[in-house]
Structure 1
Amino acid sequence: MSDVSDVDDVGDVSDAANPALPALPALVSPVSVTAGAVLHSADFILPRLLASGRDRVVLYAGVQINGTPHLGTNVTQTAAFLLAQAARERFGVRVLLRFGALDNSPYEVRTCPETGSLYERSFGYVLGEARVGELVGRHYGGLFDELSAATGVPYEVLTYTEQQAGRAFREEFLTSLGLMDTLRRTLAPSTGTVPVNFPCPRCGWAQKHGEQTELLSAGAREALFAAVCLEHGKYLVDVAPGTDAFIGLTTLHRNLLKERVAARDDALPVIVKGADWAPGCRLLDEAFLSYQGALPPPRVFTPVVLSDSGAKLSKTLIRQGTADLSEGTEPWMLDASAWPGSQREYARLLLGLVGRMLGEPRHFERGYTTREVARLIGRRLPGPSGGSG
């Protein structure tokens, strides 16, 4: 492992060579609790990297396919590319960025008229592999290619359908069933209920909360479940490394298994998530301790983009019209497809913006309102202050 060196600057959203362009406003942040201990946010992964002795790092992040991404999503993804670049250049390691595409998001939902139970069919089931690939390419392909070219960081995209079909994932699922007496109070501490659902093999509808899904038998190599379809009644599901049953899991259970699979790699896994994930990751870290000798992976939490109320940007709130956005918030901040320029220009703006945040932990360990983002990139939104958010 090489000595630590400074990371090359990927550039800013202004052009220093063109004196006609005004300098960008200063980024003002409170003092971080890590001040003096961490000089660059990539250094958060250094202790585990040194302890592991590994010379390769794989960073994991996610992509949603249930709608066009907003600025907050793209900030996290850009941060993942820049963190990977910084790890390579500061620590002399090989890097790869793996994105998990959540094609298990509900495409359509129905309510059972007799029980009131919700049933859903996923994007992956309804659209199929080819059309899901088209969606991922439409929402992220051009941007990711530009970010990869700018940082020199290679990336891969794997859908959840592909992930859960893998032998390692199914082995981890079966192991988690054997530990469920402990895991249920870390993955669902309030209720102790960690549901599993399986789509009906005939129509693809799955009971969202798995109320009527029953574990009949479980072992190290196979588990047998019974589930109920609102149209076709009861059906049996056999889960083993060689079967093709689709495994639907809660968010925390799913992420635990994905991280357990990542830990099997010969590279150091680093989890990159928005800062709103921090409370959930406390539970994931507790869940890891249920496995003898296991350590949670190193995590880096990226800045979130906020509305004026302090709530993070959310596709749901944006669709409902309850996001409390700053007056004049530009459409592309809410829908990346509304960006008026080229993908290269958008990537350049993101690299400049997130690069400034990443360079010093006090700028990285915080959120930014859309008003503050507009100020930082040299635009003005109408409002009471136009200043720091």
Structure 2
Amino acid sequence: MPSSVPAAPQPAEPVSPVSVTEGAVEHSVDFIRPHLRAHAATHVALYAGVQINGAPHLGTGVLQTAAFLLAEAARDRLGVDAELRFGALDNAPCQTRLCPRTGTLYTRSYHHAAGPDRILELVKRFYSGLFDALSAMTGVPYTVETYTRQQRTPAFREEFLASLAQWDRLRFTLAPSSGHVPISFPCPRCGWLQKHGENTELLAFDGSRARFTAVCLDHGRHEAEVGPRGDAYVGLTTLHRNVVKERLAAREAALPVIVKGADWAAGCRLLDEAHLCFPGGRPPARFLTPVVLSASGAKLSKSLMRQGKAELSPDTPPWMLDATRWEGTTQEYASTLHRLVSLMLSAPEHFERGYTTAEVVRLLGRTGSGPRG
């Protein structure tokens, strides 16, 4: 009898419920096709954020890899030039203090606490190697720009001032429960600011220039003037900052496409409504990428992991929580993410869902640490 030859192991595939877009969408990149037709666009720029506040976890890697693969698909499937623009959020809080008298929370950003040279080191350490590898694999170019640099540009400041002109409508769109949307200005002497802007006041605004007063815990009251040019550092809440940045992206020749994790769905609803507060405003094209979930169903979160509340399954490899614990080469790390996200993009129903760390382990077919990135 001929000896039997064992069959080669088949790669694991996602098992996903039927998508509500079945029959309408063949590939997730097709969601931007109507925008391309409406704008007669031949060039797209995908925008995604990069948090500069510690080592990235797997959820961050999935979003970034998805951005590269979606840009590649836009180029190959839709026939447009595509590039990636990553925003390095160096405005994330690095240090916090409480006023002992009032309990007011003050923060200092990574930019103000660490300085621009250290920020560039963090970007290089956590992201540059992965981005270079994914760029080589997909042929998609990318750039990285810090929030600090972006908020200094005249165009950003013009869009911020435009938001003030629509403030009565905009503030209840960005904060429906209260209408309170803090604007904060770091102390020019030490960089500390009131996180919730309790004592920030708008003193004057003429449409092209605004003058504010703010309070520093150590140095007292200070003023900040925001015009098309100037040194004042503009600190905005997450939603306010995003609507300003998205309107800024709409000024570019390339069609802007915003890439965020699916946990942003509720926030994007508010952002889309915020765009309609502006004369002629329209929401941008968006991609929402799969989130990676803990055993409890909550997405991987740096804050929950720091608090010990992530409730991770026992088979979660350490590198899924901290990319620097991946053993091996950056190229192998990028290849693993490429393989994983390619599975997610193989059908819309696989892309329109979340994945627990246990399911990712099953899809990748291993439980140990992978190559070091």
Do the two structures share a fold, i.e. TM-score over 0.5?
yes
Q: Please, which of 182, 186, 190 is the counterpart of residue 177 of structure 2?
A: 190
Q: Please, which of 69, 72, 75 is the counterpart of residue 56 of structure 2?
A: 69
Query: Cα deviation per residue 1:1-42 (whole Å; 9 max; x = unaligned)?
Result: xxxxxxxxxxxxxxxxxx996321232100000001000000
Percent of aligned positions that are identical: 64
Partner of 1:369: 356
Partner of 2:143: 156
Paired with 2:219 and 2:269, the residues of 1 have a C-alpha distance of 40
Q: Which runs of 5+ in 1 are unaligned?
A: 1-18, 382-389
Task: Give the deviation of 1:122 after TM superposition.
Answer: 0.6
Q: Which runs of 5+ in 2 are unaligned?
A: 1-5, 369-373
How many residue pairs match? The answer is 363
Paired with 1:113 and 1:239, the residues of 2 have a C-alpha distance of 30
Query: Cα deviation per residue 1:81-120 (whole Å; 9 max; x = unaligned)?
Result: 0000000011111111000111001111111111110111
**Contact kept in structure 2, 1:79 and 1:302, CA below 8 Å:** yes
Q: Please, which of 295, 305, 311 is the counterpart of residue 308 of structure 1?
A: 295
Paired with 1:320 and 1:207, the residues of 2 have a C-alpha distance of 24
Partner SS state of residue 60, structure 2:
helix
Matches within 5 A, 1:337-376: 337-376=324-363
Partner of 2:188: 201
Q: Please, which of 256, 264, 276 is the counterpart of residue 269 of structure 1?
A: 256
Query: Cα deviation per residue 1:314-336 (whole Å; 9 max; x = unaligned)?
Result: 01111111100001210000000
Partner of 2:306: 319
Task: Give the deviation of 1:359 after TM superposition.
Answer: 2.1
Partner SS state of residue 69, structure 1:
coil
Task: Give the deviation of 1:285 after TM superposition.
Answer: 0.3
Partner of 1:328: 315
Paired with 2:203 and 2:299, the residues of 1 have a C-alpha distance of 41
Partner of 1:255: 242
Partner SS state of residue 88, structure 1:
helix
Task: Give the deviation of 1:356 after TM superposition.
Answer: 1.2
Paired with 1:215 and 1:359, the residues of 2 have a C-alpha distance of 50
Q: Please, which of 219, 222, 233 is the counterpart of residue 232 of structure 1?
A: 219
Query: Cα deviation per residue 1:97-155 (whole Å; 9 max; x = unaligned)?
Result: 00011100111111111111011111001111111001011000100000000000000
CA RMSD of aligned residues (A): 1.2
Q: Please, which of 165, 173, 179 is the counterpart of residue 152 of structure 2?
A: 165
Q: Please, which of 166, 182, 194 is the counterpart of residue 179 of structure 1?
A: 166
TM-score normalized by the length of structure 2: 0.96
Paired with 1:95 and 1:200, the residues of 2 have a C-alpha distance of 40
**Contact kept in structure 2, 1:174 and 1:219, CA below 8 Å:** no
TM-score normalized by the length of structure 1: 0.92
Partner of 1:243: 230
Partner SS state of residue 115, structure 2:
helix
Query: Cα deviation per residue 1:214-251 (whole Å; 9 max; x = unaligned)?
Result: 00011221100011111111111111111110000010
Paired with 1:102 and 1:237, the residues of 2 have a C-alpha distance of 22
